[in-house]
Amino acid sequence: MSKYLISGGKPLIGEVSIRGAKNASYKQIIASLLSDKPTQLGNIPIISDVKITESICEQIGSKIIHNGEHSIEICTPEIINTTIPHGTGQKSRTSFMFSAPLLARNKKASFPIPGGDKLGDRPLDRLFDCMKTMNIQISEEKDMVHLTTTGLKSTNYKFSKPSHTVTETIIMLSVLTPGTSVFENCALEPEIDDLIEMLNDMGAKIKRNNSTITIIGVSTLNGTKHQIIADRNEAVTFACAALATKGSVNILRINPDIIKTFLDTIILMGAKVDTGKDEISVTWTQPLKAISIETGPEPLFMTDWQAVFSVVLSQTVGCSSIIERVFPYRFHHIEQFNKMGLKSKYFNPNITDKNSYYEFNQESDKPEYFHGVKIYGPTKLQPSNFVINDLRTGASITIAALTAEGKSIIDGVEYIERGYEKLAQRLCSLGANIEYIKT
């Protein structure tokens, strides 16, 4: 396993540019398969999730040309394989999203049960329920899902709970479906709007009115040229690194509006935030106040932010709390921080109607899971050694190690590389002391 050797205890100060969004780039690569014409995508991040997606595309029939580090041209004149390979398909959660172009163009698709980070079950029931109303037949065999259709049909459907990956998959599926489809209670993430913009540029007819999306199906789509939206998670990660180490970072190539909830939160805590058209300056100027947050779908506090934000809370004055409402359990990072001396306490909120309060399906919950954690600060974190097995935990431990005075070792940084391009190198440009040992 590759590793980071980190000597922490220094404030991070400087300037960093944000790459294209992980949660937009691989999905828009998949969306390009809806057309048999070439599509050019810019601001593609160099991360393993993108590489896995490109590999699956090539096995399906895509031809991919890399034009520089962050730009590709992809063309899929013919679908030659409607089964997502088992090996690459299980490495990330992208596999089920390929079903949209495969069904739209070839009327069948097979994929392995999605993998990715160890976050608990990723329910597909909301997707399958909607697919059934579109004349899609679904069957499972061992760890494979098989989808077939005699012809896609338009539908009116209201999701029981919003899900951004389900929303994006259904959008891709519907653009080539005859008739008019209307979907209610759709997710509101900005990456979805970026996908809609790309598809409309390709000739789709998609309109959004808040959480309702209306799609008039077209017979074919063209190619397009599209620039991937900036990565919100990257921007928040660098902002948290600045605050946790009592530093100051100017974050470039990011629209402040897409992380407004986060910025409003740290301003309440006492952080200094200055924003421009496409940049954000985040500075620690005084001890930060404790705060309580709940994760949730856009526009609430994003679940992907809470791990790196936990490091900031460890340095605040008082007792902070996080309630995780999106996944049944997402506090693996807290277990690691406790090794560094973090003072924390798990709890479960007293909720009467859990089904409406939590975004995850209740059958995914377990008695041993906690949905809340209290963090007491400020804590002088101690260096330690870690082995990580998911992306956001890896990023949060990296920040924690930079906060702690002394040397820490982080094994398994391949997980970090799933979603962050050259994270160690870019942190070093801000003054971090990280030795990256690649194996």
Mark residue 199 as left, alpha or beta (left: phi above 0; alpha: psi -120 to 50; beta: remaining): alpha
- pLDDT > 90 in the chain, percent: 91
Q: Residue 439 pLDDT > 90, yes or no?
A: no
> Tell me, what's the pLDDT at 78?
97
> Tell me, what's the pLDDT at 370?
97
For residue 91, name the pLDDT band (cuts at 50, 70, 90).
low
For residue 93, name the pLDDT band (cuts at 50, 70, 90).
low
> Tell me, what's the pLDDT at 89?
63
> Tell me, what's the pLDDT at 97?
95
> Tell me, what's the pLDDT at 123?
62
User: Could you give the dihedral angle defined by the CA atoms of residues 336, 338, 340 and 341, in that order, rounded to the nearest 10 degrees?
Assistant: 170
Task: Give pLDDT tens digits for 55-78.
Answer: 999 999 999 999 999 999 999 999
> Tell me, what's the pLDDT at 119?
35
Task: Give pLDDT tens digits for 189-246.
Answer: 999 999 999 999 999 999 999 999 999 999 999 999 999 999 999 999 999 999 999 9
> Tell me, what's the pLDDT at 142?
81
Task: Give pLDDT tens digits for 218-228.
Answer: 999 999 999 99
Give dist(CA 348, CA 350) in Å, integer.
Answer: 6
Q: Residue 343 pLDDT > 50, yes or no?
A: yes
For residue 85, name the pLDDT band (cuts at 50, 70, 90).
confident
State the average pLDDT over residues 316-326: 98
Given a contact cutoff of 8 angstroms between Cβ atoms, the answer to whether 150 and 135 are in contact is yes
Identify the weakest region by mean pLDDT among 98-107, 116-125, 329-338: 116-125
State the average pLDDT over residues 110-116: 74
> Tell me, what's the pLDDT at 118?
40
Given a contact cutoff of 8 angstroms between Cβ atoms, the answer to whether 8 and 403 are in contact is yes
Q: Residue 120 pLDDT > 50, yes or no?
A: no
pTM of the entire structure?
0.94
Q: Can you list the domains of the chain with their CATH numbers? A: 3-19+230-437 (3.65.10.10), 22-227 (3.65.10.10)
The three-state DSSP-derived secondary structure of 335-370 is: HHHHCCCCEEEEECCCCCCHHHHCCCCHHHCCCCCC
The three-state DSSP-derived secondary structure of the chain is: CCEEEEEECCCCEEEEECCECHHHHHHHHHHHHHCCCCEEEECCCCCHHHHHHHHHHHHHCCEEEECCCCEEEEECCCCCCCECCHHHHHCCCCHHHHHHHHHHHHCEEEEECCCCCCCCCCCCHHHHHHHHCCCEEEEEECCEEEEEECCCCCCEEECCCCCHHHHHHHHHHHCCCCCEEEEECCCCCHHHHHHHHHHHHCCCEEEEECCEEEEECCCCCCCCEEECCECHHHHHHHHHHHHHCCCEEEEECCCHHHHHHHHHHHHHHCCEEEECCCEEEEECCCCCECCEEEECCCCCECHHHHHHHHHHHCCCEEEEEEECCCCCCCCHHHHHHHCCCCEEEEECCCCCCHHHHCCCCHHHCCCCCCCEEEEEECCCCCCCEEECCCHHHHHHHHHHHHHCCEEEEEECCCCHHHCCCCHHHHHHCCCCEEEEECC
